[in-house]
Structure 1
Amino acid sequence: MELFELYLSPIDETRFTAIVSQSTASGDGGDTPSALPEGGQRRITLIKTLEFSQFSTNNFQDDSELDWMAAENIITADRNAFHPDYLAQIGHILYKALFPPGSPVENLLGQAIANVVGRKSGFESQIQRVENR
């Protein structure tokens, strides 16, 4: 079983450092500075989206919020419904925040997954938040 452990260490309210603390992948801990989408402004948007099973513009009244949701394919272009793949889109947004493309953290994750595929073993990931020291 491959354990991939990622720690998130806050820098401020919207930025954090992602640190791989345990993995069979080779390389350093992959300390990678990262940030929430749109400087953290979309954190609440993502949380609200996950709370509702049906889309209603009453729940998202800010035009910039709706613009961002449409651009990210969370809602349909006509802004009348959640996009059929909106949960996958949210997953991609969060993945990019945790594992920025080309970053050491993403590279270590890719190596860990390749190790599992090669050995045909299981994979477990853990994400933990570390308080500021």
Structure 2
Amino acid sequence: MKISIGNDHAGPDYKKAIVEMLKAKGHEVTNYGTDSADSVDYPDYGHAVAKDVSEAKADFGIVICGSGNGIAMTVNKYPKVRAGLCWTKEIAVLTRLHNNANIISIPARFTSIPQAVEMVEAFLNTEFEGGRHQNRVDKISC
């Protein structure tokens, strides 16, 4: 799988752990995030990930910022992108299962690194359920 990841200054350690797990599982990862705790603007990294997913250059995206909200708002402006803000494994599963999300947004200030890795694994391993959810997903895009 091809996965793009982007993060601001709240998420370098999260990204590092997630990328290590993804590469160990054989995924191809494109890293747009910062590796520093120096303040940066999360939209710069979110745009790069969203563009990859929107243009089918990546199968999935992962974005990380302090609350997960700002970067989720950024990526959800792109066509064909459905990002879900997740703070538990169960929410990560549901955002794929019911919403067919293709980007997971992680709030670094409200989750631990092990939680984040677990959420990403669950997100990537969950298939969209379709059925009654397809009509709803179709209504998400304008």
More strand by share: 1
TM-score, normalising length: structure 2: 0.24
Task: Give the number of the structure with larger relative contact order, counting CA–CA contacts within 8 Å between residues 6 or more apart.
Answer: 1
Max radius of gyration: which structure? 1
Structure with more of its chain in helix, by fraction: 2
